[in-house]
Structure 1
């Protein structure tokens, strides 16, 4: 039976609970019929240029034929197998290829389902790593504004982001320190970095031999407003963690796979974490899949003859073969010269257009890292609940652009397939909307 557009909208309204949405006030969801490249096709005949990579996951554009073919081929061979007793070619090859691109001895991949679970795995690994060595370390250090996902441990690490007040009684305590956010022309960045490092020193000093790990989103804090820090700060942070004898966790769920201009933010900063969390772009936006990658020494601390030393954690769809096949095809595209040139071109266009908006009176803190461009819009409130955010989102949808401001923060994070003309059209709309807001 073929359902009409109105029938499908009615079914959605009756049964579907959408994420990060107040159903009492939200507009009806847009019914997507399909997508290709950077464009989403809606049932009402409209087209939307996807400037947020569909929640930051879609690296190469929708329905890329190379990934479509890889998924189809794998579906016909092996769609799922229990990963506790079996392995398979896509999982082994994908782990090998990702580890080859990571620095140092990050060689041990634990698969899970999404960014939240990748972080949850990292936090649990850090805790048990110390326990397996006869140490009880229960203190974690995170950064103000950090967001690490929506499972209990990830929420605890991201409690200062402001998203989780409804569940504060469920969270374990985490020490937070300032995040030295910076932007173009920021003359106070070194003072902010020093304040953050001093705060970290204080936590280590008051919790000797108790800090399990420090967790940070490297170079860009995503959900809290695309807040950016310098590579220099990450190098100083790594040195502090090493001196204190603790562990460093990098949450590269969003920043991984080229978003910062390098394949991983840790490579761009020249640091090697003990644990790194990867998801979002891992499969090119086709299927949910994540990795927590550990250094060899972390893995070795779980070896022994006693099951209690093992990491007793898992997911039903761990290392799903179809997802791993999509990941391999996505890596093929990412590592190709055409994609690398597009990443550079996107960054260059972002830079040019950001510079052209800095003179507007309602624009502040313009910033850019790789393919992620952001600015603060002054007037209409500040923070995630700022009233200016929904107004901008509606204005962009009217112009055929999918942009989801984070409160008063406007950002562009396009798929790598975006053409110069499409990206120019998006920036033209940003320019137009911002100038109208001034009036």
Structure 2
């Protein structure tokens, strides 16, 4: 991950093209830094070409009278004067070796380790220059673009512009490519070509963007006689870096130093400024005691944040990696700063910006609607897709659809007041968002406000969990009474059995559920009161309510009883069924949608969160044809008069399409297959659609720990409920027990999964006495294993306290 030191100023040097003078101008920067008595480091991660012509040798040769302050190094050297990816391949072919090209991770870790060594070896002020090869998109050893390979390090950047014909375009294009990936460009340097005069155009262009540009005289032409050439080149550097300390190069050094200082000062100021200005969601500000309680995120890449601390860590850096243990509130699907998603967003922004959507169309929106309806979670039942902003607003849309459909069918017997009081059937512990209507579809609880008017009836559902290594269905008191049982827990043997709904439909427990639900609904009808107009469910897992894994059999039978059959028809029956799949949808729990597992499909469903890979907000409400037709007439006021300013915004649609493209490939990878097979082979008895990225042995061991009440996992989600008499949302037990994992720790025998190999912490969220952890869909298994070790160690150590 990114590093930042008070005393070591690091800059990575990219070129707008090959042969633009990166090494020449870097030599001048190195020489100027050393002339001010700074210790200077120079790193060439990858060098190609004859050793005598290597860039690090040129740097050393022309370091000037302060050469003793300079340390140069090269990590990977190849003799063929070609692109790094080809040079590495040719070296393998020449030696008769296959498949040994250093990976991006190896390269990035090597650079990060070198930076840390530089920092630890120089307690006084020092400068480090990391020079790349070729242009910004020249490939690394693996073939990955340099911009993407080096992105986890996110080092402050110097761009060497192109002074030749076409150089204006290549320089600006390189700058934009850097910008799209989050790099900070502190300075631009290029030669002062008196014919093309590119610097005259580029200087105001970059200065308008707050970036210092320096135009530097060309070096003299090469002289055939080596000794004369050395003298001529040395004189050139003496001119660029005069002893009086005043020149364009010194101005660049001053600029780089100022950028470094300003960055630290700004990061230092963020906690105080935030505490003075920001009102956080879901945070009791009265419990935030000091600036140290504010997590300052400098950047993010893959599954990790770079967290700033005003005090240097044991590694010397002010930045430390922290695993994003909640997938950034369940939105991350492919890791942070995924370049393909960024480019998709940029492309749509450049083509459309935002455009009006009513009675209009554009390709990103239409493609997204078609794939969700015909090939995605709506396949086989949905015919329409309605766009909105986020999960909560999409649920508002779903409720409007369902209530209108119900009213159209039964409205003749309902007066205006009755229509306003229509209620829903749901489950205790459900949560459908923070807008007022979505909150009204839940019982009153910690999230509701003074206007809350709970409208409906909520069953307390049976749940599934792993307790002491056993798969347990836990019954609520009402169901225990129905069964005449004295125990709430039923050992169902395996996850495979627990989630095999078709087989379980013929069990005695299914009949108990069926009778209980039917009797309860009949009593509600007989006793009058609220008219129930829809069923609203979070299928399989209720997220914000405490990561409650509901027995799927109960949800299936609830739908069957309400519909009066064991399946759906072309028109909704009984009541419209809404599936809120904002949390669980699109493979968050290992399956694209929950309908196939439950064996029934909704009339309306909602998807968000993973839909856009965590980059931009967007949500989709899918509806069946019979729901859609409830709004059809010749009267405009009968239409679904609901919308958002950014409905179907092209940027969100383009990002969603790209996210789904990537996910389609991910589900076929060996990474997924290996995780699935582990669960199939375990005593827990998983199946292809019931499995987890979390290791079954780890889950089994954790479930047996004394302080763990129960836990459960599916797909990317791991939820741990701790024993706590207080329990509930107000409990601090989960936060207290796992507090130690937030710190940056690395076992001496372990390899850090964080890019750069630094010790890492874990950023996680709790719901009272429930702690949950979440991965992306592409989190490497090695990273998950490291997180598991940290969780286990924290709980193991808590036993002694």
The interval holding the TM-score normalised by the smaller chain is over 0.9
Q: Is the 8 A contact 1:350 1:373 kept in 2?
A: no
The answer to whether the aligner puts 1:386 opposite 2:668 as a matched pair is no
Residue aligning to 2:464: 182
| Distance across 2 between alignment mates of 1:283 and 1:246 | 31
CA offset digits 1:267-303 (Å, max 9, x no partner): 3322210110111111000001001111011001111
Once structures 1 and 2 are overlaid, which stretch shifts more, 45-54 or 6-15? Answer: 6-15
Provide the secondary structure at the position in 2 that maps to 1:183: strand
| Distance across 2 between alignment mates of 1:363 and 1:172 | 33
Residue aligning to 1:4: 266
Provide the secondary structure at the position in 1 that maps to 2:698: helix
Residue aligning to 1:249: 578
| Distance across 1 between alignment mates of 2:396 and 2:408 | 18
Residue aligning to 1:229: 550
Residue aligning to 1:330: 659
Residue aligning to 2:340: 66
| Distance across 2 between alignment mates of 1:181 and 1:279 | 25
The answer to whether the aligner puts 1:163 opposite 2:439 as a matched pair is no
Provide the secondary structure at the position in 2 that maps to 1:170: coil
Residue aligning to 1:140: 424
Change (3 A) 1:337 1:421: closer
Relative contact order higher in (CA < 8 Å, ≥ 6 apart): 1
Residue aligning to 1:213: 534
The answer to whether the aligner puts 1:202 opposite 2:523 as a matched pair is no
Q: Is the 8 A contact 1:377 1:408 kept in 2?
A: yes
Residue aligning to 2:275: 13
Once structures 1 and 2 are overlaid, which stretch shifts more, 388-397 or 414-423? Answer: 388-397
Residue aligning to 1:149: 433
| Distance across 2 between alignment mates of 1:232 and 1:199 | 12
Change (3 A) 1:9 1:118: same
CA offset digits 1:321-375 (Å, max 9, x no partner): 1011110010001111456544452815332211121221111222122221222
Q: Is the 8 A contact 1:204 1:211 kept in 2?
A: no
The answer to whether the aligner puts 1:315 opposite 2:641 as a matched pair is no
Structure number, greater radius of gyration: 2
Q: Is the 8 A contact 2:406 2:576 kept in 1?
A: no
Once structures 1 and 2 are overlaid, which stretch shifts more, 128-137 or 15-24? Answer: 128-137
The answer to whether the aligner puts 1:33 opposite 2:280 as a matched pair is no
Q: Is the 8 A contact 2:465 2:712 kept in 1?
A: yes
State the Cα RMSD in Å. Answer: 2.3
Once structures 1 and 2 are overlaid, which stretch shifts more, 371-380 or 408-417? Answer: 371-380
Alignment gaps of 5+ in structure 1 = none
CA offset digits 1:168-200 (Å, max 9, x no partner): 443242211112112133155595774586246
The CA deviation at 1:437 is 2.2
| Distance across 2 between alignment mates of 1:406 and 1:196 | 31
The answer to whether the aligner puts 1:23 opposite 2:285 as a matched pair is yes
| Distance across 2 between alignment mates of 1:237 and 1:46 | 48
**TM-score, normalised on structure 2?**
0.52
Once structures 1 and 2 are overlaid, which stretch shifts more, 102-111 or 296-305? Answer: 102-111
Matches of residues 389-404 of structure 1 in structure 2 within 5 Å? 389-392=734-737, 394-399=739-744, 400-404=761-765
Alignment gaps of 5+ in structure 2 = 1-209, 211-261, 310-318, 481-509, 565-572, 677-691, 745-760
Q: Is the 8 A contact 1:142 1:215 kept in 2?
A: yes
Give the count of matched residue pairs: 437
